[in-house]
Amino acid sequence: MLATQLSIVANLILAGAATEVYSVELGGFDTHAAQANTQSELLTQLDTGVSAFVDAVGATERGSETVVLVYTEFGRRVSANASAGTDHGGPTSSWSPATR
């Protein structure tokens, strides 16, 4: 679960660990077929995990020192393929939710 990974990171940040950069991952977005259901579940995980992390860290002094970047390895094509999925594409987007 992404939320659990982020919980560990939040623990480390709040404990004052010296590590400056943490990374966590959520796989399964390579949806070449039947994208709708899979993507919905994954985005729900992303939403709950990141939101909880932002809330937890943002409520502390470390929130002003923490930057979150959500990015993906690959973009997806905008148009669906014949399998109700999408193939790799160039453009994608990165998100940066503010902890404060």
Partner 1 sequence: MPGMKALFDDKRLAIVEVSGSPTPTTAISSPWTSGRARSRRHRRGRGGWAAGSTRPARTRCARLASARPCRSPSPGRRSKGGDPHRQAPAARYRQPAGPLRRHGQGDSGEPALLAGSASADANLLVVDRTLGPILNRTVDSDPLHVKASDSVALAGSSAAALAIANGGEASRVATCSPPSSASWPT
Q: For residues 9 and 39, give the distance between their C-alpha atoms in angstroms, rounded to a whole number.
A: 24
Contacts of 93 (CB under 8 A, 6+ apart): none
Q: Which is nearer to partner 1, 37 or 92 (CB)?
A: 92
* Residue 19 in the binding site for partner 1 (CB under 8 A): yes
89 counts as binding partner 1 under rule CB under 8 A: yes
Residue 36 CA, distance from chain mean position:
18
Which among 1, 15, 93 is positioned nearest to 56, based on CA atoms?
15
Among residues 36, 41, 84, 95, the one that binds partner 1 under rule CB under 8 A = 95
Site residues (vs partner 1, CB under 8 A): 1-5, 7-12, 14-25, 27, 43-44, 46-52, 54-57, 59, 64, 67, 69, 71-75, 77-79, 87-100
